[in-house]
Amino acid sequence: MTPPLGSVPAGPSPDEDLAPGVLSIALVSEHASPLATLGGVDAGGQNVHVAALAGALADRGHRVTVHTRRDDPALPDRVPLRDGVEVHHVPAGPARPVPKDRLLPCMEEFGQHLARAWRARTPDVVHSHYWMSGLASLRVARELGLPLLHTFHALGTVKRRHQGRADTSPPERIGCETEVGLGCDRVVATCRDEVAELLRMGVPADRIGVVPCGVDTDQFTPVGPAAPRGPFRYRLLQLGRLVPRKGAAVSVAALARLPDTELVVVGGPPPGGLDDDPEVRRLRGLARDAGVAGRVRFTGGVNAARVPALLRSADVVLCPADYEPFGIVPLEAMACGRPVVASAVGGQLDTIADPGTGRLVPAGDPEALARAVAALLADPAARAACGAAGRRRVLSRYGWPRIAAATEAAYCEVLDAEPAATRAG
């Protein structure tokens, strides 16, 4: 690795001043900043997860630094996110937005800056998020002897299986993911489906633990303001990154079978950029062809503070992705007491209890989606029961205090064992 390039800007008090039992935790999230506006092509569940995990770990008394790539020259080196959490903007590659699938050439520089930062202020534990963060972190962890845990959030083998030639990932991705999975101390998987995929990749079962994603049960609640409704009797809502695999086209097609119902699609570019967005134009064309253009509304990307009110305004929340490594939106919807109809894939198989909290349908099947939604729309009591059960399920399993405690336990298990970097020699 290239030698250190110099010192890093002064930050909070040195790690050696931390009280006993308090960990200095480095979260690495190269493309998904916790400060990003949600709904863009590369801004979604991982951004929410990293921000919330950092805050929940800080609530447990730890000090957290989130290392993410600088994508704007005006960003300061370090930004306080909240008490106990700061965001470190790492200069790697051009200081402008770059699609995540083009960031691999920036990872060597990213790793060099991590090495500088961690020599100046050594963390107790490193937790990388997404494969490129893992790649950069693994090489530094090996050099400095730091314990490393990794969460993939998505796996290249799954993406290639579903997208085929449309997969824009670098060809090196799957090999790098295997390197990270075999080289880190612990893979923190988010669902059972991911564990099965990791085992097929050759990652040993004793190197894998499961900690699901979480949801803020104080922010996402059934009680609170709801966004204004349109003139239609029913509202369906789909929330998330506006990319084809999220299945908005399936929702549009299903809408043609659901009279007096509107579909609100939340996510994508800022509202002023909707007309120029290729995916929005594609979906609008599909809506025109299906005769439902007047019942589909696109909000564009929204601030996170607006999301609970939007969810509360819906009768049913749709999550019809082709594949979903975990899926935070179902948790947010259930926390708001709304039934979810989702494709039976990935993490949604764990989070949604069918028929208790919603319905699971085959991916890519508008007729099945429409049938499940129509049954719920026709039965207000069933919708209310699903919503109440969803709220209970989230409170019992997916609150961030519980997720942070499980993550901390994984850190402590690794800290009590010999680091993989040492084992590797």
Distance CA 29, CA 107 (A): 12
Q: In which domain, by residue range, is 55 found?
A: 15-214+401-424
Distance CA 297, CA 284 (A): 9
Distance CA 196, CA 174 (A): 16
pLDDT at 17: 61
pLDDT at 303: 85
Q: How many distinct structural domains can be found in the chain?
A: 2
Cis omega (within 30 of 0) for bond into 339: no
Residue 410 and residue 384 share a domain: no
**Is position 311 within any domain?**
yes
Q: What is the CA radius of gyration of the chain?
A: 21
**Is position 384 within any domain?**
yes
**Structural tokens at position 384:** 């209310």
* Among 361, 281, 269, 286, CA closest to 321: 361
pLDDT at 36: 66
- Kindly report, residue by residue over 374-389, the tens digit of the pLDDT: 999 999 999 999 999 9
Residue 358 and residue 322 share a domain: yes
pLDDT at 425: 40
**Is position 223 within any domain?**
no
Q: 34-45 as b/e, with b when 16 or more CB fall inside 10 Å? A: bebebbbbbbbb
Write phi, then psi, for 88 (nearest 5 degrees): -105, 115
Residue 72 and residue 170 share a domain: yes
**Is position 228 within any domain?**
no
Within 323-399, residue ranges assigned H as helices are: 329-335, 348-351, 366-377, 380-397
**Is position 391 within any domain?**
yes
Per-residue pLDDT for the chain (425 aa), expressed as one digit of tens each?
333 323 333 333 444 567 778 999 999 999 988 886 444 444 557 888 999 999 999 999 999 999 999 999 999 999 999 999 999 999 999 999 999 999 999 999 999 999 999 999 999 999 999 999 999 999 999 999 999 999 999 999 999 998 888 889 999 999 999 999 999 999 999 999 999 999 999 999 999 999 999 999 999 999 999 999 989 999 999 999 899 999 999 999 999 999 999 999 999 999 999 999 999 999 999 999 999 999 999 999 988 899 999 999 999 999 999 999 999 999 999 999 999 999 999 999 999 999 999 999 999 999 999 999 999 999 999 999 999 999 999 999 999 999 999 999 999 999 998 544 444 44
Residue 79 three-state SS: strand
pLDDT at 42: 44
Angle at 164 between CA 161 and CA 166, to 5 degrees: 135
Residue 168 and residue 286 share a domain: no
Residue 418 burial class via C-beta count within 10 angstroms: exposed 0-12, middle 13-18, buried 19 and up: exposed
CA dihedral 172→174→177→182, nearest 10 degrees, is: -110
**Is position 226 within any domain?**
no
**Is position 22 within any domain?**
yes
Residue 181 and residue 100 share a domain: yes
Residue 192 and residue 50 share a domain: yes
Q: What is the domain-level CATH number for residue 135?
A: 3.40.50.2000
Rounded to two decimals, the pTM is 0.86
Residue 243 and residue 171 share a domain: no
**Is position 222 within any domain?**
no
Residue 76 burial class via C-beta count within 10 angstroms: exposed 0-12, middle 13-18, buried 19 and up: exposed
Residue 171 and residue 282 share a domain: no
pLDDT at 18: 72
Residue 264 and residue 135 share a domain: no
Residue 258 and residue 201 share a domain: no
Residue 259 and residue 188 share a domain: no
Residue 406 and residue 385 share a domain: no
